[in-house]
Structure 1
Amino acid sequence: MKCVDTSRNAAGAVHALVRAVLGSEIPLMIRCWDGSEAGPPDAPVRLVLRRRRALRRLLWAPSELGLARAYVSGDLDVETDFFESLSHLERIIGDRSGPWKVDATTKREMLRAGLRLGVLGLPPRPPAEEIRLGGRRHSRGRDARAISHHYDVGNDFYRLVLGPSMTYSCAVWDDGAKTLEDAQTAKVDLVARKLGLREGMRVLDVGCGWGAFVIHAAREYGVRAVGITLSQSQAEFARKRVAEEGLSDRVEIRVQDYREVRDGPYDAIASIGMAEHVGEAMLPTYASALYALLRPEGRLLNHAISRKAGIPGNLGRTSFINRYVFPDGELEPLTVMVGAIEESGFEVRDVESLREHYALTLRAWVANLEASWAEAVRLTSEGRARVWRLYMAACALTFERGSIGINQVLAVKPGAQGASGMPRTRTALLS
């Protein structure tokens, strides 16, 4: 690898550094704190390093975590289209979830460039939006702290991003969905139909969020529903929403861990976007708990993101997602999820992939955020708004290229002599 030929201005030095680390010419233009620029003027990616601290963050954490810290703190900005820029950067640097590998010669040149640029020094304090949890992984207390970090950002902020439905999971963009609201209504109704909801049934929603599914199920299908969440702010919002809909006699919202529910049996259980928080080690406990809460021939609908086999599932201790978005989150291959559900005693009857739908949903959320950026910053912080923009845009691209997926797994608790009471065809199931 060639030595870094640092030029007289900051941008030239930085551009040479990046080129040396990556080992190739890159379609990237850089503008630095001193106003200098380097790189192709028509580059598809234009980065702005607003402060020397951006480079110090990268020197101390030469990984996606360093890049994320620089962006979240405002030390680094992206001037070109955000989705296109992220897509190019991912292709440029490839899989860089760990520290970037550079040889000894390049390391020496990086040190010289750092001295010239005046960026050497102690590691900068991470942005306030970063979290590192203590205690036993997936204990009830630690899970509650992880959920609070992600969901107790503020209901007004979530309403801005998610839209009026306040539905934080993959929408279903069927032929009739013209808007995000249409698509989210289609999703909760799809879950209701797969569960075979009928008037008078008793339904549990595990990880109920802001109450979209339990409200739809009670209003449209006449069921009695219990929704549980670990987020106080979600529960407060959901209870108010239930009251406004006139459904307080049919819908109960609890702040409760799924391991603490003792009032079964239920006729049906929905788990929509919650299993990602459970963790592989706890999946047998999770599936067995839901099995015990269902009556014979009761149905479970598990809606969860999945990863390809062979890719680490715990999102990496030093990954942006783990430190800023979903602490302790774990994605499992579909086979692992189905296996845990089957091993607990369920019979799996239907699996549906919604991967492309989640990419469309995430792009809609990013559009909502960008359209009301100033208000989002006012409601939380600029750092938090940047976390969400980066997280949702990156995830949309990941779904689009098929690196992760999302699936609805429908299972049934067998009844007497193994009877399931299930329709024989998917057409009958959804009618």
Structure 2
Amino acid sequence: MADAALRLTTLAEEVLGAPLPVRIRAWDGSESGPPDAPVVVVRHRRALRRLLWRPGELGLARAWVAGEIDVDGDLYEALDRLAGLVWEREPDAAPAVHPLRDPRLRAAARGLLKLGGALPPPAAPAEEVRRRTGPLHTKRRDKEAISHHYDVGNDFYELVLGPSMVYSCAYWDEGEGTLEDAQRDKLDLVCRKLGLAKGDRLLDVGCGWGSMAIHAAREYGAQVTGITLSREQAAYARKRIADEGLTDRIEIRVQDYRDVRDGPYDAISSIGMAEHVGQVRYREYADRLLSLLKPGGRLLNHQIARRPEADEAAYHVDEFIDRYVFPDGELAPLGRTVATLEEAGFEVRDVEAIREHYARTLRAWVANLEASWPRASGLTSRGRARVWRLYMAASAVSFERNRIGVNQILAVRTPTTGESGLRPRTRDWRG
């Protein structure tokens, strides 16, 4: 079988109804497709059996994590070329009938069967989270989901995130600053938007490895309570805080936001945490944070958003993200998030979109991972390192193509007098 690549290209183009924008190299050494395009390498026929048993994102994800498919060349370019043809197809480009009744898809399945072999479905890679049952976003289920993503190993995250240990969008100026500079600037921007002053009580929801808490306490003199569901994060944050000599100003708890009872706080930061809350709990999240703020207190909610669907009821979570990256994670359109905060009683005072900043941040993380690939794979597993590389590179492309965005929402618990007490009254957060 010296023509596997040509047969795969033909099958793909029949299903997609368009020329394949990447080159294919098959396990038999054959190649097919545009000569100057990135090369998608199909290393093993087992990848085709995965697609037979689970067509679409999940089958491709399993083959990628297992190392059965790869990209030779620019991964970003390959994902960008495939995005418009695969992930961003117009609804009318989908089959008008059930796949099993579509002759074109049935023929493609037969072709894959001949190429891949009629064997049982391969076992899913060990890094995959099995399908969950029961109600979404219970405290126990949320804790398990957080552990899957964040308890990968602090040493691994140090390689990817760098010295800042901030796992959210950095804030880049127009110059050529480092990732650490951009993360420091983001943390400082959050503190300024919150109007932090010496002695203010700050609740940092989803505090991660303690970077926001340390910056707020060290640079602004705040008294900080940080909460996380990850025991590994909490242990790491506590050590950093002790090394900084800030144990008298910062407390780190392993605690669910629903269990915090020691308000009122002057300010709350929630940076990259709300994506884990879920739509069934988002109003509860907003209500809880409002109740924890004093009148005039501020919330800075930093959150990824997806674009609205024409039919919101048809929205589904990306299977690769759900099974391998953020179990039970959900993205909502910006408008829905703002509306829910307002319905809870917040006054939304400012929204800043920083989509381009996240694309650059993700590219910096991928560069860190690739520069330390052997060590990163050894600290976790080769499959988990492959998950992170694909997830971060694909997310960078999604931000660049405006499929998703990220926004900082500044909201206030307005006092009954109607005066918010916001200073400055303009967007000059530097005062």
Where 2:302 maps in the other structure, the secondary structure is strand
Aligned positions of 1:32-71 closer than 5 A: 32-40=26-34, 42-71=35-64
Q: Is 1:29 the counterpart of 2:23 in the alignment? A: yes
Contact 1:63 1:96 survives alignment (8 Å): no
Assess, with a 3 A threshold, how the Cα gap between structure 1 residues 34 and 175 changes in structure 2: closer, same or farther: closer
Partner AA of 1:36 in structure 2: S
Assess, with a 3 A threshold, how the Cα gap between structure 1 residues 314 and 367 changes in structure 2: closer, same or farther: farther
Partner AA of 2:374 in structure 1: A
Assess, with a 3 A threshold, how the Cα gap between structure 1 residues 27 and 355 changes in structure 2: closer, same or farther: closer
1:10 is aligned, of 4, 18, 21, to 4
Residue correspondences, number:
424
Partner AA of 2:287 in structure 1: S
Gaps (5+ residues) in structure 1? 1-6
Contact 1:62 1:100 survives alignment (8 Å): no
User: Could you tell me how far apart the structure 2 residues matched to 1:238 and 1:246 are?
Assistant: 12
Assess, with a 3 A threshold, how the Cα gap between structure 1 residues 143 and 105 changes in structure 2: closer, same or farther: same
Aligned positions of 1:273-352 closer than 5 A: 273-310=272-309, 316=316, 319-352=319-352
User: Could you tell me how far apart the structure 2 residues matched to 1:163 and 1:246 are?
Assistant: 22
User: Could you tell me how far apart the structure 1 residues matched to 2:409 and 2:306 are?
Assistant: 15
User: Could you tell me how far apart the structure 2 residues matched to 1:78 and 1:141 are?
Assistant: 38
User: Could you tell me how far apart the structure 1 residues matched to 2:205 and 2:43 are?
Assistant: 44
User: 1:197: which partner in 2?
Assistant: 196
Where 1:394 maps in the other structure, the secondary structure is helix
Shift of residue 314, structure 1, vs aligned partner = 10
Shift of residue 108, structure 1, vs aligned partner = 4.6
User: Could you tell me how far apart the structure 1 residues matched to 2:429 and 2:111 are?
Assistant: 64
Contact 2:49 2:113 survives alignment (8 Å): no
User: 2:142: which partner in 1?
Assistant: 143
Contact 1:302 1:409 survives alignment (8 Å): yes
Q: Is 1:382 the counterpart of 2:382 in the alignment? A: yes
Contact 2:305 2:404 survives alignment (8 Å): yes
User: 1:180: which partner in 2?
Assistant: 179
Aligned positions of 1:241-280 closer than 5 A: 241-280=240-279
Shift of residue 10, structure 1, vs aligned partner = 2.2
User: Could you tell me how far apart the structure 2 residues matched to 1:252 and 1:318 are?
Assistant: 36
Assess, with a 3 A threshold, how the Cα gap between structure 1 residues 43 and 414 changes in structure 2: closer, same or farther: same
Contact 2:48 2:116 survives alignment (8 Å): no
Q: Write the deviation string for residues 208-253 of structure 1: whole angstroms up to 9, x where unpaired.
A: 0000000000001111100000011110100010001000111000
Contact 1:314 1:331 survives alignment (8 Å): no
Q: Write the deviation string for residues 324-370 of structure 1: whole angstroms up to 9, x where unpaired.
A: 11111111111111111111211111111111111110111111111
Assess, with a 3 A threshold, how the Cα gap between structure 1 residues 175 and 115 changes in structure 2: closer, same or farther: closer
Q: TM-score, normalised by structure 1?
A: 0.93
Gaps (5+ residues) in structure 2? none
Contact 2:2 2:28 survives alignment (8 Å): no
User: 2:164: which partner in 1?
Assistant: 165
Where 2:251 maps in the other structure, the secondary structure is strand
Shift of residue 318, structure 1, vs aligned partner = 5.8
Aligned positions of 1:420-431 closer than 5 A: 420-423=420-423, 425-431=425-431
Assess, with a 3 A threshold, how the Cα gap between structure 1 residues 198 and 112 changes in structure 2: closer, same or farther: closer
Contact 1:135 1:142 survives alignment (8 Å): no
User: Could you tell me how far apart the structure 1 residues matched to 2:414 and 2:102 are?
Assistant: 62
User: 1:83: which partner in 2?
Assistant: 76
Contact 2:189 2:429 survives alignment (8 Å): no
User: Could you tell me how far apart the structure 2 residues matched to 1:257 and 1:314 are?
Assistant: 30
User: 1:3: which partner in 2?
Assistant: none
